[in-house]
Amino acid sequence: MPDLALALIPGHGNRPGRYDPGAVGTHAGLRVEEAGRVRMLALYIAEAARAAGLPCTRHGEETQYRDRQAAALTAHAGTPTIVLLHLHFNAGLAGRGSDYGLVLHDPRSSSGAATARKLAASIPAAMAARGIPAFRSQRVTAAVRPTWDRAANLLEPAWAVPNAHAVLLEPAFLAHPAGVAAVADDAALAALAAGIVAAFAAPA
Ligand SMILES: [Zn+2]
């Protein structure tokens, strides 16, 4: 039994009664939809995890986020630590320097905070190693209300599960030119995925 499993919850997509594309941007004249790109990122993460021997599953199809979380916990029942990784590429704030990534964690979970810091530290090196221009920084913040209500809605349900901690990763924003370029680029998503998996699979 592995000590840690990674459960990916890409955002948006199937929602009650509709399909939600999430944020929408444009790159090189083409439409870039958050829902599709976070699912592509999840696929790359799953591939990198398999290569690293890290248990990893994807849960992006249920219409309710609570059902995605429930499926993730069922998939890894018995694993000592389950990381619920919510994936988003939101719009961000155009013209206000959103050339950074954001990692949000549960304000009550020290293990979630540690996971968030590990992710933030791991991603830039993996991007640089693959020749992908790094973002200015990765910002790590607790998802406190009311500032981070929408993230808190996703993270707080994990409070009830002692061996799970939830992190919301927004590696890039669609409103920023470098962000949407990375989101649109499969090689950049593969580099992001390598950084995410390295945060968990690297030797202690
Ligand atoms: Zn989103």
CATH number for the domain including 161?
3.40.630.40
Q: How many CB atoms lie within 10 A of CB 128?
A: 13
Q: The whole model's pTM is what? A: 0.95
**Under a CB-based contact definition with an 8 Å cutoff, are residues 188 and 101 in contact?**
no
**Per-residue model confidence (pLDDT) at position 93:** 74
* Residues 71 and 84: beta-carbon distance below 8 Å: no
Q: From the CA of 133, how far away is ligand 1's center (Å)?
A: 23
What does the pLDDT read at residue 95?
A: 61
Task: Report how far residue 166's alpha carbon sits from residue 124's, in angstroms, rounded to the nearest whole number.
Answer: 21
| Cα of 77 from ligand 1 centre, angstroms | 27
Cα 151 to ligand 1 centre (Å): 9
CA of 130 to the centre of ligand 1 (A): 26
**H/E element, 125:** helix 110-129
Phi-psi region of 42 (alpha: psi -120 to 50; beta: other; left: phi over 0): alpha
Block means of pLDDT (10 residues each) for the chain, 204 residues, are 92 97 96 98 98 97 97 96 96 73 89 92 92 86 95 93 93 89 95 96 62
The answer as to whether 203 is a domain residue is: no
| Count of the separate structural domains present in the chain | 1
What is the structure's pLDDT at 189? 96
Residue 72 covered by a domain: yes
147 CA from centroid of ligand 1 (Å): 15
Residue 33 CA to ligand 1 center (angstroms) comes to: 10
Two structure tokens written together for 55: 């248990």
Domain limits at 55?
A: 4-198
- Indicate the angle between helix axes 186-201 and 34-52, nearest 10 degrees: 50
CA of residue 1 to ligand 1 center, whole Å: 33
